[in-house]
Homo-oligomer: A and B are copies of this chain.
Amino acid sequence: MIITMKQGSKPKDIAVVAEKIKGLGYKPHISKGKDVTIIGMIGDYAEKYKDAFESMEVVEHVSEIQKPYKLASRDFKKENTIVKVSRNVEIGGKKIHVIAGPCAIETKEQMVTTAKIVKDAGATIIRGGAYKPRSSPYAFQGLGEKGLKYLNESGSKLHMPTISEAMTVEQVEIVAKYCDIVQIGARNIQNYDLLKAAGKQTKPVLLKRGMAITIKELLLSAEYVLSQGNYSVILCERGIRTFETATRFTMDLNAVPVIKKLSHLPVVLDPSHGIGIREHVGTMAKACIAVGADGLIIEVHPQPELALSDGHQSLLPDQFKALMKDLDLVAKAVGRELLD
């Protein structure tokens, strides 16, 4: 990192900082300009000490040069990580996987019916929420473990892997028992005990970017999971919060090439939550493929007007079916594949 000294700092101020750097086992690189002196402190984990230098009165500011994450970084691992979800499903390779299903699991019939529909259309992973993070305590909170059983049964029947969200440390274990991927939601992306719990079990983990989390912070959250020994981490962009109110969130597709440059982890995109408006989900999904997504999450509901959660962003079965064909064309245009 680079430590910029306050204007007019004296030789002894510079010496104090230099000594502190040496004391931590690094070599200070001092560059004196006419008005400003900067001191480089370069080496493994130097960024860990940013706070300690920023809090010194003689220091103007400290800027990071090296990334504060290691295991998530492409510097650490050059080739793309391919996450093995099940015998046939791997995320991060040439094939783009579509994860589809209802926002919330409501009944066994709804789950089974929807799973069948999305499989027929070409989806390869089934989703369904059993534990629902709802901003209002009066809204439907999900079926819990009963819902996971429905999801698990649907998966077994159709030979498809499944994904569902865990909101607490205990739910991580339950979701991992019934599902093939444990999802950590946007609202919990900096719930560090939850991240550690996800890192301590062995099922792949999908991390949804929070609505005001920077790319750097998302990779640091991934680092929490990776540092516990679980290397099967999938990142997911699902919309950030901006001043624009015409869409539910602003899907940040710019994040995809940036993350792929910084990290070896696969990236999945969620246009249903990202734009939050049914009629625009398909258009955004095409852009997601073009920008380099390794997978998509799309909400499908046989009767959205009866949905207990997020019905207005769920696709109808026929819309989803038509969309999958369109997406396959875009996938091929960018050298990927989606339908078999």
Interface membership of A2, Cβ < 8 A: yes
Instruction: Tell me whether A253 and B255 are in contact (CB under 8 A).
Output: no
Find out whether the CB atom of A136 lies under 8 angstroms from the CB atom of B220. Answer: yes
- Chain B residue numbers with a CB within 8 Å of A283 are 256-257, 291-292
CA distance A215 to B283 in the complex (A): 17
Chain B residue numbers with a CB within 8 Å of A75 are 7, 35
* Chain B residue with the shortest CB-CB distance to A293: B287
Contact of A55 among B133, B244, B261, B305 (CB under 8 A): B305
**Interface pairs A-B: 5 shortest CB-CB:** A33-B42, A55-B311, A212-B212, A29-B31, A290-B290
Find the residue from A32, A52, A309 having the highest chain B CB count within 10 A. A52
Copies of this chain present in the complex amount to 4
A128 within 8 A of B: no
A34→B40 contact, CB < 8 A: no
B138 touches A167 (CB 8 A): no
CB distance from A41 to the nearest CB of B (A): 9
B-side contacts of A261, CB under 8 Å: 279-280
The verdict on A125 contacting chain B, using a C-beta distance below 8 Å, is: no
Q: Give A129 Cβ to nearest chain B Cβ, in Å.
A: 13
Known contacts A192-B133, A244-B252, A329-B333: A43-B54 contact under CB 8 Å: no
Interface residues of A in 162-221 (CB under 8 A from B): 167-169, 187-188, 190-193, 210-212, 214-217, 220-221
A34 in contact with B44 (CB, 8 Å): yes
The A267-296 residues at the B interface (CB cut-off 8 A) are: 274-275, 277-280, 283-284, 286-292
CB contact list, A120-154 vs B, under 8 A: 133-139, 141
Q: Is the CB of B139 within 8 A of A48?
A: yes
What B residues does A42 contact at CB under 8 A? Answer: 31-36, 38
Closest Cβ of chain B to A15, distance in Å, is 15
Interchain CA distance A252-B332 in the complex, whole Å: 24
**Which positions 230-285 of chain A face chain B at CB distance < 8 Å?**
240-247, 250-258, 261, 274-275, 277-280, 283-284
Residues of B within 8 A of A133 (CB): 190, 192
Most buried by B among A44, A133, A190, A308: A190
Min CB gap A50→B, angstroms: 9
Does A320 touch B at the CB level, under 8 Å?
no
Q: Which residues of B contact A48 (CB under 8 A)?
A: 136, 138-139
List, sorted by A's number, 8 A–B pairs whose CB atoms are closer than 8 Å: A48-B139, A135-B221, A168-B169, A188-B190, A242-B250, A251-B253, A286-B291, A290-B291
Cβ of A314 within 8 Å of any chain B Cβ, yes or no, is yes
Chain B's nearest CB lies how many Å from the CB of A175? 14
CA distance A191 to B139 in the complex (A): 15
- Give complex CA distance A256, B290 in Å: 15
B292 engages A2 (CB within 8 Å): no
